[in-house]
Structure 1
Amino acid sequence: MSQANVVSYLSEQKQTSDKELAKEWEIMEEFYNEKLWNELTIKLSSFVKNPKIQNEKALMQLYSNFISTFETKINPFGLVEILSVIIAHMKDKKEAIAFIEKLKDKVKICDEAVWMCKVLQGQIYLEFLDDKEATKKIIEDLKDILEEAGNVTPVHGKYYLLASAYYRLIGQHADYYRCSLQFLGCSIESFPKSEWPDQAFFLGLAALLGEGVYNIGELLAHPIIDSLRGTENEWLIELLHAFNSGDIAKFEEMKPIWSSINDLKVQEVKLRQKISLLCLMEMTFKRAANNRTITFTEIANETRLPLKEVELLIMKALAQGLVRGAIDQVAGVVNMTWVQPRVLNRDQVSNMAKTLDTWIQSITSMEQLIETRAAEILTN
C-alpha cells in the first residue's frame, strides 16, 4: 500500500464521530509519521482491544490499510500479540490458520514470536476445528523447546493453558494436572479470579485421578484452592487433605459426597489404591529414621486392607519409587529406608520437627557417651 493510501485511510478514520477514537487515531498517525515504532506498537496493543472496534471487518481493515505497511519495522513479538486479537475475530478459522502461517514467515527472526504463532494455531485447532492430532503435534513440538528456554517467556503461560485444555479434553488427568499447575505458576496474576473456583475444582479431580500424582500437597499449598471455600465444591479441599495425609477413615466417611461425582465414583478402586499408597508413605514419613520397621499387621490396620494384600501394596510403592526398603516375608515386616519428598502441610512439618528433635537428642546423647568413654580410656 502506498503512503498516499495510508494517509487517506488515517484521515478517513479521524473523521469518526467518536471523539475518543478520533483522538486515538491522531496519536497513532503522529507516531507513524515520526517513525516511533515502539510507541506505535504499545498504542496498537491497547487500541486493537477497544470495544468499539471488536468486529472482523474493522480489525482486518486496520491490518490491511495500516499495520501491514510497517509490520516488518516493529517488534516481531509485539506484532504477533496485536494480530492475535485480529485473528480471534476471524470467522473462517481455516483462513485464520493460513494467516498465521504467513505471519510465522514474517516474524521468523524472533523465536518467541514463532512459538506464539504455533500456540495460536493450536488454540484454533483445538477449540474450533476439533483437530486433536494437529494440536498434539504443536504441544509436543514446543514442549522441549520451552523447557530448555532458560527463562519463563510470555509464551509459556499460553502454551501451558493450551496443553492443559488438550489433556483435559482427552482425559489425561496427570498431564492436565502438571500443565495446569505450570500455567498457574506462569500466569496466576493475570488469570481472572472469577475462573479460579472452576480451575481449582478440575485441578482437584485431576490430582485424585491422575496416574502417578502423589504430591497433592503442591496443590493444597497453592492459593487457588482457597477459592473453593464457600462454594458447593468446598468438600473437595477436605478430601484432598485426606489423600495428602493418607487418611482412609476420612475418605470412607466422605464417600456419600465424593461418589456423587461420576468421574470419582467409577474410579473408586483406583482411588482406594492411591490413598492406600499415600497412607503407607505417611506411615513411613512419621517414623524416626531408626524406627522404620513396619509390620504387615500395622499396615493392614492403617490401610484397612486384608493382610494378604499388604505385600502387594508395598511392592507397588517400591516399584513406583514412592518408598525404598526391603521386605522380610518370613517376619512379616518391611524395613523402610526412604520416602519420596512431598510438599508438606503444617501437621506434617510439625511431625518432621519432632523427628528432628529426637534425632538431635540422640546425637547429643551419643556425643556425651563418647566423651565419657574417651575420658575413661585416657585415664586408664
Structure 2
Amino acid sequence: MSSVVKHYLTERQELAESADIAQAWAELEDLYTRKLWHQLTLRLKEFVKSDYFQRSNGLLQLYEKFLSDFEHRINALSLVEIILYVKEDIEDPNAAVEFLERINEKVKDNTEARVLCNTAIGTIKLQQGNLGDVKKLIEETEAMLDTVSSVSFIHAQFFNLCSKFHATTSYADYYRDSLRYLGCVDLVDVSVVDQQERAFRLGIAAILGDGVYNFGELLAHPVLESLKGTENDWLVSLLYAFNSGDIGQFELLKSHWQKQEDLVKNETKLFQKIQLLSVMELTFKRPSTNRSIPFEVIAEAARIPISQVELLVMKALSLGLVKGSIDEISKQVNMTWVQPRVLDLSQIKDMADRLSTWCKSVKETVHSMEDQVPELLA
C-alpha cells in the first residue's frame, strides 16, 4: 500500500462523521490490502452514490488519492461508471471534459467504456451549447455502439444524449431517439416528473415530426400513463385522433392544443398531416375485396372539397403511405396497400373483425365446394 493511499484512508476513518462511514472506509482499506479488486470495485460503485459524498464533495479527492492507484486493475466500464460520479465534483465544464478525455484514453480498449465516456463528454458540451462538437461526437459514438451486441444501460445514456441534442433541432429525430431511450430503461427508475416531461415532449414531437405517421408504438408505451389526470391529459386524446385520422376529434381538442405555441405555429402542417392519416385509416379499414374508395368518401373524411382529393391522394402515394391508383373517370381511388403500423386497441379490434368475417367466408366456400363435389363426380 502506497503511503498516499494509507494516509488518505487513515485520515478518512479518523474524520468520519459516524461509525457507519468509518466502517465503510475500513472495508475499502481491507479490500484494497487484500487486492480483491472486483469486490472493491462493487463496493466503490455503491459508496460513491451515498449521501456522504453529496454532503462532503470529496469524490475528486477519492479518485486522486485512492482510485487512481489501482484503476488499471479494475474493469474499464465499472471505472467509467464511478468516474461519472467523480466528475460531478468538477465545477469548471472545460476541466470536467479534460478529465473525462484523460479517462477515455485509459479505457480506449473497451468499447462500452468509451461509449459511456463519450456520452458524458457530449452531455457537458451540449450544456455549453457546442452543438457542432456534440454532433461529431454522436456520429463517432454511434459507430462504436453498433459493434456492441447486447443492449445495456450505456445505450440508454447514449440515446438520452441524442434525444436532448435533437430536442431543439428535429422533432422526428427526437421522437425516434426518445423511444429508443425508453426501450432501454425501466420506468420504475425514472421519476414521475421526468416521465411526464418525456411523455409530453414525445407527443408533441410525434405530431410535428416530419415522416412520423405511426403513433402506435408511443400509444402502447406506459410512459403516456404519466399524463393521465394532469393538465396535459388532452395530449393522449390528440395522439389517438391523429393515429386514426379523426379530424373531428382533432377540432374538438383545438381549445387545448391551441395553448401550445409549437402546435399553433404549425396548424396548417397539423391539418395536412391528419388528412394524410385519414386516407391511411380509410384504406386500412376497407376490406381487401373492396379497396375502391370514392372521392366523396375521402373528401368527407379529410374535410376537403372533392376537387382537392386527387392532390391529397397523390401526396399520400408519393410519401409511400399507401399504394394504388387514381381512376379519374369513375372518381374513385383503388388502393392495394397501406404502410404497416403499430395498431392501437380499436384498430386491432377492426382487424380481428375482418379476420372473423374472412374465416366465415372461407368456411362457407368450403361447405359449398363439399356440397357440389358429388354432382361434379357424377
Q: TM-score, normalised by structure 1?
A: 0.95
Find the counterpart in structure 2 of residue 185 from structure 1: 183
Find the counterpart in structure 2 of residue 361 from structure 1: 360
Find the counterpart in structure 1 of residue 314 from structure 2: 315
CA–CA distance in structure 2, aligned partners of residues 12 and 269 of structure 1: 67
State the Cα RMSD in Å.
1.5
Q: Is the counterpart of residue 34 in structure 1 residue 34 in structure 2?
A: yes
CA–CA distance in structure 1, aligned partners of residues 56 and 271 of structure 2: 52
Could you tell me how far 1:17 is from its partner in structure 2?
Answer: 4.1
Q: Is the counterpart of residue 139 in structure 1 residue 138 in structure 2?
A: yes
Find the counterpart in structure 2 of residue 200 from structure 1: 199
Mean CA deviation greater in 369-378 or 63-72: 369-378
Find the counterpart in structure 1 of residue 173 from structure 2: 175
Find the counterpart in structure 1 of residue 162 from structure 2: 163
Distance 1:282 1:57, change over 3 A: closer
Could you tell me how far 1:57 is from its partner in structure 2?
Answer: 5.9
Q: Which amino acid aligns with 1:179?
A: D
CA–CA distance in structure 1, aligned partners of residues 147 and 294 of structure 2: 45
Q: Which amino acid aligns with 1:89?
A: D
Find the counterpart in structure 1 of residue 46 from structure 2: 46
Q: Which amino acid aligns with 2:52?
A: K
Could you tell me how far 1:148 is from its partner in structure 2?
Answer: 4.7
Distance 1:230 1:144, change over 3 A: same
CA–CA distance in structure 2, aligned partners of residues 118 and 165 of structure 1: 15
CA–CA distance in structure 1, aligned partners of residues 257 and 58 of structure 2: 50
Could you tell me how far 1:23 is from its partner in structure 2?
Answer: 1.1
Find the counterpart in structure 2 of residue 238 from structure 1: 237
8 Å CA contact 1:56–1:86 kept in 2: the answer is no
Mean CA deviation greater in 144-153 or 8-17: 144-153
SS for the counterpart of 1:231 is: coil
Q: Is the counterpart of residue 339 in structure 1 residue 338 in structure 2?
A: yes
Query: Unpaired segments of 5 or more residues in structure 2?
Result: none
Q: Which amino acid aligns with 1:59?
A: L
8 Å CA contact 2:9–2:25 kept in 1: the answer is yes
Find the counterpart in structure 1 of residue 276 from structure 2: 277
8 Å CA contact 2:111–2:144 kept in 1: the answer is no
Q: Which amino acid aligns with 2:181?
A: F
SS for the counterpart of 2:167 is: helix
CA–CA distance in structure 1, aligned partners of residues 338 and 73 of structure 2: 56
Q: Which amino acid aligns with 2:191?
A: P
SS for the counterpart of 2:137 is: helix
CA–CA distance in structure 2, aligned partners of residues 139 and 284 of structure 1: 39
Q: How many residues align?
A: 376
8 Å CA contact 1:207–1:216 kept in 2: the answer is yes
CA–CA distance in structure 2, aligned partners of residues 164 and 368 of structure 1: 57
SS for the counterpart of 2:162 is: helix
8 Å CA contact 2:5–2:66 kept in 1: the answer is yes
SS for the counterpart of 1:335 is: strand
CA–CA distance in structure 2, aligned partners of residues 307 and 126 of structure 1: 49
Distance 1:319 1:223, change over 3 A: same
Could you tell me how far 1:89 is from its partner in structure 2?
Answer: 2.4
8 Å CA contact 1:90–1:96 kept in 2: the answer is yes
CA–CA distance in structure 2, aligned partners of residues 144 and 218 of structure 1: 26
CA–CA distance in structure 2, aligned partners of residues 260 and 17 of structure 1: 54
Distance 1:319 1:144, change over 3 A: farther
Distance 1:23 1:276, change over 3 A: same
CA–CA distance in structure 2, aligned partners of residues 359 and 166 of structure 1: 48
Q: Which amino acid aligns with 2:243?
A: N
How does 1:60-209 map onto structure 2 within 5 Å?
Answer: 60-127=60-127, 129-170=128-169, 172-189=170-187, 190-209=189-208
Q: Which amino acid aligns with 1:30?
A: D
Deviation per residue, 1:202-253 (Å, 9 max, x gap): 1110111011111112111111101111111111111111111111011112
CA–CA distance in structure 1, aligned partners of residues 68 and 16 of structure 2: 25
Q: TM-score, normalised by structure 2?
A: 0.96
Could you tell me how far 1:130 is from its partner in structure 2?
Answer: 1.0
CA–CA distance in structure 1, aligned partners of residues 16 and 346 of structure 2: 65
CA–CA distance in structure 2, aligned partners of residues 36 and 230 of structure 1: 51
Find the counterpart in structure 1 of residue 21 from structure 2: 21
Distance 1:346 1:57, change over 3 A: closer
CA–CA distance in structure 2, aligned partners of residues 206 and 251 of structure 1: 16
CA–CA distance in structure 2, aligned partners of residues 142 and 263 of structure 1: 31
CA–CA distance in structure 2, aligned partners of residues 31 and 79 of structure 1: 16
Distance 1:205 1:336, change over 3 A: same
User: Sequence identity, in percent?
Assistant: 43
CA–CA distance in structure 2, aligned partners of residues 247 and 371 of structure 1: 45
